[in-house]
Amino acid sequence: MLARGANRLPGTRLCSGLLLGDYPFLPAVEEGVLSYCTWHVMPAVRKLVADGAVPFYPVRASQVPGLVRHLGADVAFIRVTPPDRHGFCNLGPSVSYPLPAVRDASLVVAELDETLPRTRGESAIHVSKIDVAVESRSPMPEYPRAKPDEMSRTIADHILPLLPPRPTLQIGIGAIPEALVEALRDQRVPDLRFVGMGVDGIADLHEAGLLEVDDMVPYPPVMTAELMGSRLLMDFAHENPVLGVYSTPLGITASTLYTMDRFVSINSAIEIDRLGQVNAEWVGGKQLTGTGGSIDFTESALLSIGGMRIIAMTSTNLRDASPKIVSSLASDVPITVPRHSVDYVVTEYGVARLGFASTRERAELLASVAHPDHRDAILERVRVA
């Protein structure tokens, strides 16, 4: 609808982060009728970003509300539940930047969707804050659960012994996080808390009685900014006091999260070099994804009492067996997480504890968890240094 009417609104610009489902407005972008910018690159828009037709903003997750304000967003498009008997709609699975955007925008357009879960936390919006409301004509997008394989389960088994008792875990999406959730359940690890991204496996852990439900103040045991999952997760989140969805200032920034003891950030990487520098967003000279919240969560773990920062990844790319632990990153590759912000690197070959290791020790440790076919290339740079 926006794309069809954009020719009547010269200079219209659409801004968004990660979108699930189709990008029906892209033909209008390609025709020059509508301009579009983003801070999270999905497959549908990668070529346009690479070609320069769609501006990409390399900002960390905690900066997104500020970016939206900087871009001068006049209109906020949101998807919410219909109002309850008290007049409150609910943002459901996504509160991170939609809530700040609603507060800043001069016009709020809401799509009313009866299938959204009514979540706790900061997700309520009074109907008086909505200027235009329309009935939803499309189903709520879902994110299919990744299936752990033998390699991801091996990596999860290496991570498990590193975790402190009663940890607060930040995990992403994909086979390794799902394998870790599976391992936590199978090993009956108790008193768990989660922040960051909410995934399907959290519902399994609650069903198994493994979430720390005795301590609900000031935040519930599952404190997320986004829910990325299937109907299973949405049904679990519906009016459930153990899970809250919060805006970026509370759900992602270190100023809040560092106060949680034993905060463990677990993130993935596209590649990491012998010094421990992490690239989690760039492949073949092109932006693959967004900068995301990796650095926000690693900073939170650094400041947390008993916290730790883990990079969990396969040693090679599954598509072509190329190495993910390399001697050096290419000169144009952005560093998502700097070398001083990594405590452990975990692959299917074991654990490299970088922590207070010297540059030479880092290379040797990383070589030990690299694929055997690629270890000599990493060590060769150490020998000539």
Tell me: do 131 and 167 sit in the same domain: no
Q: In 3-state terms, what secondary structure has residue 163? A: coil
Whole-number Å distance between alpha carbons of 119 and 96? 13
Tell me: do 335 and 220 sit in the same domain: yes
Contact 87, 126 (CB under 8 A): yes
Confirm whether 43 is domain-assigned.
yes
Residue 4's pLDDT band, with cuts at 50, 70 and 90, is low
Single-letter code of the amino acid located at 377: A
Collect all residues with Cβ–Cβ distance below 8 Å to 139 and sequence separation of at least 6. Answer: 115
Tell me: do 109 and 159 sit in the same domain: no
**For the chain, what is the domain count?**
2
**Looking at the predicted structure, is the pLDDT value of residue 161 above 60?**
yes
Q: What is the pLDDT of residue 5?
A: 60
DSSP letter for 140, please: P
What are the C-alpha distances in Å from 54 to residues 44, 48, 49, 64, 152? 12, 5, 5, 17, 34
Q: What is the pLDDT of residue 217?
A: 82
CATH of the domain at 178: 3.40.1080.20
Whole-number Å distance between alpha carbons of 216 and 332? 45
**Looking at the predicted structure, is the pLDDT value of residue 22 above 90?**
no
Q: What is the pLDDT of residue 216?
A: 84
Tell me: do 242 and 380 sit in the same domain: yes
Q: What predicted TM-score, i.e. pTM, was given to this entire model? A: 0.94
| Average pLDDT taken over every residue of the chain | 94
What DSSP string describes 190-222?
A: -SBEEEEEE-HHHHHHHHTT-B-TT--SSS-SE
Tell me: do 230 and 330 sit in the same domain: yes
- Return the structure tokens found at 250: 């509370």
Residue 382's pLDDT band, with cuts at 50, 70 and 90, is confident
Confirm whether 142 is domain-assigned.
no
Single-letter code of the amino acid located at 5: G
CATH of the domain at 49: 3.40.1080.10
Partnered with residue 243 across adjacent β-strands are 222
Q: Which residues of 130-165 are buried (b: 16+ CB within 10 A; e: fewer)?
A: beeeeebeeebebbebbebeebbbbbbebbeebbee
Residue 361's pLDDT band, with cuts at 50, 70 and 90, is very high
DSSP letter for 161, please: G
Average pLDDT over residues 331-352: 97
Q: What is the pLDDT of residue 109?
A: 97
CB atoms within 10 A of CB 283: 14
Confirm whether 144 is domain-assigned.
no
43, with CB counted inside 10 A (0-12, 13-18, 19+), is exposed
Tell me: do 45 and 101 sit in the same domain: yes
Residue 21's pLDDT band, with cuts at 50, 70 and 90, is confident
Kindly give the pairing relationship between strand 88-90 and strand 124-126.
antiparallel
Tell me: do 318 and 170 sit in the same domain: yes
Residue 166's pLDDT band, with cuts at 50, 70 and 90, is very high
Whole-number Å distance between alpha carbons of 252 and 5? 35
Average pLDDT over residues 230-235: 96
For 65-111, write each residue's pLDDT tens digit.
Answer: 999 999 999 999 999 999 999 999 999 999 999 999 999 999 999 99
Average pLDDT over residues 6-15: 77
Q: Which residues of 261-270 are buried (b: 16+ CB within 10 A; e: fewer)?
A: ebbbbbbbbb
Average pLDDT over residues 312-340: 96
Please confirm whether the linkage preceding 65 is cis (ω < 30° from 0).
Answer: no
Whole-number Å distance between alpha carbons of 246 and 243? 10
Partnered with residue 267 across adjacent β-strands are 311
Q: What is the pLDDT of residue 220?
A: 96
**Looking at the predicted structure, is the pLDDT value of residue 385 above 70?**
no
Whole-number Å distance between alpha carbons of 305 and 28? 50
Q: What is the pLDDT of residue 279?
A: 98
User: For the chain, what percent of residues have pLDDT higher than 70?
Assistant: 97
Q: Which of 208-222, 265-279, 344-358 shows the lowest per-residue confidence on average (mean pLDDT)?
A: 208-222
Tell me: do 112 and 172 sit in the same domain: no
Q: Which domain holds residue 23?
A: 2-135
For 36-64, write each residue's pLDDT tens digit.
Answer: 999 999 999 999 999 999 999 999 999 99
Tell me: do 158 and 130 sit in the same domain: no
Q: What is the pLDDT of residue 215?
A: 84
Q: What is the pLDDT of residue 82?
A: 97
Domain end call among 91, 112, 135: 135
Contact 80, 112 (CB under 8 A): yes
Tell me: do 230 and 356 sit in the same domain: yes
The CA angle 301-91-58, to the nearest 5 degrees, is 50
Partnered with residue 169 across adjacent β-strands are 194, 264
Confirm whether 145 is domain-assigned.
no
Q: What is the pLDDT of residue 8?
A: 65
Report residue 21: phi and psi, to 5°: 85, -160
Confirm whether 218 is domain-assigned.
yes
Residue 383's pLDDT band, with cuts at 50, 70 and 90, is low
- Return the structure tokens found at 372: 């055997």
